[in-house]
Amino acid sequence: MNFSHKAIEKKWQKYWAENNTFITTNKNDKKAYILDMFPYPSGSGLHVGHPRGYTATDIVARLRRMQGFDVLHPIGWDAFGLPAEQYALKTGNNPVDFTKKNIAIFKTQLQKLGFSFDYNKEIDTSNPNYYKITQWIFQKLFERGLAETREADVNWCPELGTVLANEEVLVVKGKMVSEVGGFEVIKRPMKQWVLKITNYAERLLDGLNNLDWPNSVKELQKNWIGKSKGLEIDFKIEKSSETLTIFTTRADTIFGVSYLVLAPEHPSVLKITTSENLQAVKEYIENTKTKTDIDRQDDSKPKTGVATGSFAINPITKEKIPVFIADYVLKDYGTSAVMAVPAHDPRDWDFATKYKLPIKFVQESPSLEKPFVGETVLINSDFLNNLSPKNALLKVTEFLISKKLAKEKVNYKLRDWLFSRQRFYGEPFPLLFLEDGSIALIPEDQLPVELPKVEYIKPSGNGESPLANVTDWVNIQFQGSKARRETNTMPQWAGSCWYYLAYIITTKPNNFLEIASDEAFELFKKWLPVDLYVGGQEHAVLHLLYARFWHQVLFDMGIVPYPEPFGKLINQGMILGENGEKMSKSKGNVINPDEIVESHGADTLRLYEMFMGPIDAALPWSFKGLDGSRKWLDRVYRLVTEKTITNNNNKELDFVYNETVAKVSKMIEDMKYNTAISQLMVFVNAAMKAQEIYKPYLEGFVKLLSPFTPHLAEELWEFLGNSKTITYETWPSWDENKLVQKNVTVAIQINGKLRATLEVLVGTTKEELLDKAKAEKNIYSYLQEHTLVKEIAVVDKIVNFVVK
């Protein structure tokens, strides 16, 4: 008989809710903080890719509860965001109502999947109680000199009426467009709030060494921070008082420099450009404004540039070299000026080839037809000849510094964090601009600064956020003087920078302890760092980097006891469509988990997504695989409810049961869920063949199954006569003595061909194996008819007779 998933899931979800089964406990020294990257509650709800990560963490959370840990396994909503704002602008509806409706949909979907979240810890970043603390943290950043206003070139989208981060901009047919809506994006200077994350660049880099994170994520962060040690070298401009300072990590190649190249935004560009080249340079500068930094760094794109008409003087060789501008050099890295050595840099090679510039090899190269980037001795380099690059670098560095032509410098690619958004639906800044030009922070006892309640929002029309339209909110009196609120709001990243801390100090949904209190510190001391953090690799850099930055500032303030927030990180792989393509509405291959829960059950969906393959692999969806998972669960149900159960152990299942407990326990720890399920299947196969099943083994199996398929496990646990939830039952242990198999199958061959098999005790000697093999009916008759030449026996494995 098969089971009714609808009845069972409804029954146990009701039980868990009424009994507050998954409430965070605070009884033990052992703790497990199991965290998911919280979702943005969009109107489209979940698709089948979302439950993959949530199921992975839920399995660990359920395991830890059964192992006697205090478990914090929370969920919340990254609720501010551009989609809600766009919905409000288009429809005239309030984004708050839109967001609440979406949260309700998401929450219902998650509850139907049986995740053991503690909903007492639920948070919503758009709740004033929540963003009160976000605003407080911003004020502390401001007080510590880590937040300031600055004129910055930004990605401005007139249609959306807001600044976009580089990651929110695409380049389509050579033009920048918004990721949301595909609207035109342009570069324009604008006064913005920035956070000085660059002050923490070195610490953010060093901190990666102690984290149990995928190497790919660590490398992405290292590359984003982009530390490089080198020299700043001065090149004088011929017939000018101007000097260009370039940054290079390869000063050893200075004899191979054939041109200098500046970022189009370099402040000296127009100063050194000759009148003949001025028009072309200005046009190139304007054209560069239509490109994102990401697009400009794309090495697959053709290199372009324009000559300024000026020449620089190589400080060592005294050669005249032309000065160009090119968009592959960025204004924010180094000095935004570099020396080009085409023979040993692919980008410079492409540029020099295109514009017919000299190419000078200064390292021994096997070919003069392409750039060489290996490690060989220097040539054509005067006093550096025959030296290795490392030794040449030391020697030229000493020479240039002694002549006061250069200085050592450490640079980072990391840029300060642009923290302003021209949006209504975000955290208001907790400060005021006063008449005298100064900035005043809102007193802490007056936080939060709440968003005004308006019937509808509309664009300001002047580049400010829609908040600028709410004049009675913007213009106020403060301590007897006129003051104006900041009309920009914080980016969506702000709320996600500290949400993992919010869960710890949540006393009930969206109600928090004071973050700087002694009580909060003690809780942080217990629960931090996060023991397991699971989410998509799309957050590998920005969210994780920003959250680490805020955490390190809070650590410096004594708010949190440890410098890093997330101990172990796992990126779950994407679930693709059945054809192997990424799921998307436009392709019509998105699968709604609600439909799967209806047809196959939540436990089947959970089991199938864990059985598909390694948790970090991108894998195609298969309805055939889903059907197979359901059939196996039906078999499990029949095993427990229909087989004969006994309290006497006939030892028939001793080995396979203890092997299953040992392997599944280890595999869950290693998050090898697909192989853990395979081992559970091994046990079921063996148990189905057994005449009867020892009850403690059956109960142990149901416990092993429970993290994967909790509804069915609860039902089977009750069927076996237990009155309490399985959630806090003790995780099974195994007997090492029973992991030694007593019998083994030995192959018997004649002239290398299998003729029979023999079941013997493990460790049976060679002599005994040969005697038993010769006594086998088929083997005996064969040996009688042939002459035995040689006999070979390998204990526990094989017997081979050579005959003629």
Q: Measured between alpha carbons, how far is 678 from 332 in angstroms, rounded to an integer?
A: 52
Does residue 373 sit within a domain? yes
pTM: 0.87
Q: Are 609 and 717 in contact (CB under 8 A)?
A: no
CA contacts within 13 A on the Cβ side of 493: 23
Q: Render pLDDT for 14-59 as a digit per residue (tens, 0 to 9).
A: 999 999 999 999 888 899 999 999 998 887 788 888 899 999 999 9
Q: Which of 701, 726, 751 is the last residue of a domain?
A: 726
Q: Tell me the CATH number at 776.
A: 3.10.20.590
Going by pLDDT thresholds of 50, 70 and 90, the confidence category of residue 677 is very high
**Cα R_g (the chain), whole angstroms:** 34
Reported as half-sphere exposure (CB side, CA atoms, 13 A), residue 24 has a value of 23
Lowest mean pLDDT among 128-132, 454-458, 705-709: 454-458
Amino acid at 401: I
Q: Is the pLDDT of residue 776 over 70?
A: yes
Q: Looking only at Cα atoms, what is the longest distance across the chain?
A: 117
pLDDT digits 0-9 by tens, 696-711: 999 999 999 999 999 9
Query: Are 371 and 404 in a shared domain?
Result: yes
**Which pLDDT score is estimated for 114?**
97
Which letter does DSSP use for residue 547 in this model? H
Residue numbers of the domain that contains 626: 622-726
Indicate whether 720 and 748 sit together in one domain. no
In a domain, 381, yes or no: yes
Task: Tally the domains of the chain.
Answer: 3
- Say if residue 679 is in the same domain as residue 781: no
Q: What is the pLDDT of residue 461?
A: 66
Q: Has residue 659 been placed in a domain? A: yes
Whether residue 362 lies inside any domain: the answer is yes
696 and 632 in a single domain? The answer is: yes
pLDDT digits (tens, 9 = 90+) for 409-422: 999 989 899 999 88
Whether residue 586 is predicted with pLDDT greater than 80 in this model: the reply is no
pLDDT, tens only, 336-391: 999 999 999 999 999 999 999 999 999 999 999 999 999 999 999 999 999 999 99
| Lowest-confidence pick of 245-259, 311-325, 392-406, 784-798 | 784-798
Same-domain pairing of 257 and 316: yes
Spatial contact of 663 and 740, defined as CB atoms under 8 Å apart: no
Residue 169 · residue 179 · CB < 8 Å = yes
Cα separation, 687 vs 585, in Å, equals: 44
pLDDT in tens, 61-97: 999 999 999 999 999 999 998 778 877 777 777 888 8
Residue 113 falls within a domain, yes or no?
no
Query: How far apart, in whole angstroms, are the C-alpha atoms of residue 57 and residue 591?
Result: 22
| Whether residues 782 and 671 fall in one domain | no
Q: What is the CATH number of the domain that holds 656?
A: 1.10.730.10
> Can you give the pLDDT at residue 8?
98
Same domain, yes or no: 704 and 763 = no
Q: Read off the CATH number of the domain in which 293 is found.
A: 3.90.740.10
Among 703, 726, 749, residue at a domain's last position? 726
β-partners of residue 255 are none
What is the overall mean pLDDT for the chain? Answer: 93
3-state secondary structure of 492: coil
H/E element, 401: helix 389-402
pLDDT number for residue 87: 78
The more confident residue out of 764 and 515 is 515
Domain-located, residue 70? no
Task: Judge whether 490 lies within some domain.
Answer: no
656-672 tens-digit pLDDT: 999 999 999 999 999 99
Same domain, 235 and 335: yes
Residue 585, annotated as binding a ligand: yes
Top mean-pLDDT range of 83-87, 582-586, 606-610: 606-610
User: Two tokens at 640?
Assistant: 């427990």
Q: How much of the chain exceeds pLDDT 70, in percent?
A: 99
Residue 595 forms part of a structural domain: no
The answer to whether residues 746 and 720 belong to one domain is no
Higher pLDDT, 775 or 396: 396
pLDDT of amino acid 155: 83
Residue that is last in its domain, among 411, 437, 463? 411
Q: What angle do CA 740, 743, 746 make, to 5 degrees?
A: 125
Q: Cis (ω within 30 of 0) for the bond into 189?
A: no
Spatial neighbors of 261 by CB under 8 A, at least 6 apart, are: 305, 323, 324, 325, 326, 328, 329, 337, 338, 340, 348, 351
Q: Stretch 488-502: mean pLDDT, rounded?
A: 96
Whether residue 776 sits in one domain with residue 679: no
Residues 642 and 720 in one domain: yes
d(CA 328, CA 297): 6
Residues 687, 777: one domain? no
